[in-house]
Structure 1
Amino acid sequence: MGGGTIRIVLADDERMVRTALRVILDAEPGLEVVGEAATGAEAVSVVRELRPDVVLMDVRMPEIDGIQATRRILAALPDPPRIVVVTTFENDAYVYDALRAGAAGFLLKRVAPEELVSAVRLVAHSESLLYPAAVRGLAAEHARRHPPLAPWAARLTEREAEVLRRMAKGLTNAEIADGMGVGPATVKTHVAAVLAKTGARDRTQAVIAAYESGFITPG
């Protein structure tokens, strides 16, 4: 995406919700809503056609739900958009399933306009988790309580392991670099290695994997 306009697609079966989101987002410099979808199947089609940077995806929609739509979008495009699930209840198992399917984060429908805008900008640049405490809470609640440690954990270097722990706290590359006393470029290299070794698409997926594997334990 670079430093240009963040292009957004809205997927929600309620027209009033889409209209409200469009009004908020289009009023912000550097943000543009380029398309809308009222069903999960329509969301897949619109995203494949328009190739946005960010998708705001309702979980429960007709035809196919937001989880299946997320899976299909990520499987269909070589450079897929960042998908943010929009939900009513933050501890919903559907939200966790969406994160496991590849969503970059989630937003509550009652979120304040300024938080919505901030979240879209944050997830578009993908340098930290969206609401890290909530993501950790979902992972802790839904991950198995005593999972076997994943084989990839033994392949992490000491620095990569520390970077993953700090990623789980929602820190940006710059914040991780400051805390570890290294340069941002070094952190970026470590993050790339962590994603490769965990098989994760992005930071959210890496954190989910860390909890599900037992690398990070709740509490």
Structure 2
Amino acid sequence: MTERVRVIVVDDHAVVRAGLRALLGGDEGVEFVGEARTAGEAVRLAGAHRPDVVLMDLQLGDGVDGVEATRRLRALEDPPQVLVLTTYDADTDINRAIDAGATGYLLKAGPPEELFQAIRSAARGQTTLSPEIASRLLRRSRSPEQALSDREVEILELLAQGLGNRDLARRLFISEATVKTHLVHIYTKLGVDSRVAAVNAAVERRLIRLDGTPPQR
């Protein structure tokens, strides 16, 4: 008999946790070993139950997001693989999660079979991405000259909060002239000619998200 993959679910919504618990319970290849609402609970559970895979939402309930929770889990002595399962599909979220050590990134809208396959792949240490995410990253890799740098994405996130050039310069510890140079590059890459248009284009292309959540870096 094939050994089952031990899984912990981390999500701040009880209904979502219950749904995933029921879904995972229907797969003979998966063993549900616990659920957590916060990053702290996730780390404690992982230390106690030694899961193979942690399904991680990005928005958690204790002020510490799923990216930081991922980083803490991957820093454990015997770290589990972390598979992000979220509704957020902005490039900045994807990049931060992968940089923190996530082995995969799935969207909650995907079919159950996609989740089960991803769990098995993650348990083997293999990277798994939702088809929509993989396609977008592939398109970006084919046009690297149009890809925004991390600094440019950060500036876009601050623009979305309404910061002017002077405030941007103070927040990022750079000169206003440097801010203006970054804006020129951003406008060129996005094919726009104003701050509002740049933010709108970035949201439409899922480079950043507007949900009232400040950027967390």
Question: TM-score, normalised on structure 2?
Answer: 0.59
Q: Tell me, yes or no, if structure 1 residue 15 matches structure 2 residue 14.
A: yes
Q: 1:19 to 1:133 in 2, by over 3 A?
A: closer
Paired residues, number: 145
2:74 maps to amino acid: L
Partner in structure 2 of residue 66 of structure 1: 66
Partner in structure 2 of residue 88 of structure 1: 87
The answer on whether the counterparts of 2:84 and 2:104 sit within 8 Å (CA) in structure 1 is yes
Partner in structure 1 of residue 36 of structure 2: 37
Shift of 1:137: 3.0
The answer on whether the counterparts of 2:8 and 2:53 sit within 8 Å (CA) in structure 1 is yes
> Any idea what SS the aligned residue of 2:70 has?
helix
Rg (Cα) greater in structure: 2
> Any idea what SS the aligned residue of 1:43 has?
helix
Shift of 1:129: 3.7
Shift of 1:44: 1.3
The answer on whether the counterparts of 2:104 and 2:129 sit within 8 Å (CA) in structure 1 is yes
Q: 1:107 to 1:129 in 2, by over 3 A?
A: closer
1:86 maps to amino acid: L
What CA distance in whole angstroms lies between the structure 2 residues aligned with 1:50 and 1:81? 10
- Structure 2 gaps of 5+ residues are 148-217
The answer on whether the counterparts of 1:10 and 1:36 sit within 8 Å (CA) in structure 2 is yes
Taking every aligned residue pair, what percent have the same amino acid on both sides? Answer: 40
> Any idea what SS the aligned residue of 2:75 has?
helix
What CA distance in whole angstroms lies between the structure 2 residues aligned with 1:139 and 1:69? 27
Question: TM-score, normalised on structure 1?
Answer: 0.58
What CA distance in whole angstroms lies between the structure 2 residues aligned with 1:67 and 1:127? 19
Query: Deviation digits for residues 108-156 of structure 1, max 9, x if unmatched?
Result: 1111122211211122123454347724734875998599xxxxxxxxx
2:70 maps to amino acid: T
Q: 1:14 to 1:133 in 2, by over 3 A?
A: closer
Partner in structure 2 of residue 48 of structure 1: 47
What CA distance in whole angstroms lies between the structure 1 residues aligned with 2:98 and 2:11? 18
The answer on whether the counterparts of 1:122 and 1:130 sit within 8 Å (CA) in structure 2 is no
What CA distance in whole angstroms lies between the structure 1 residues aligned with 2:84 and 2:125? 15
Q: Tell me, yes or no, if structure 1 residue 134 matches structure 2 residue 133.
A: yes
What CA distance in whole angstroms lies between the structure 2 residues aligned with 1:69 and 1:128? 19
Shift of 1:62: 2.1
Shift of 1:86: 1.2
Partner in structure 1 of residue 75 of structure 2: 75
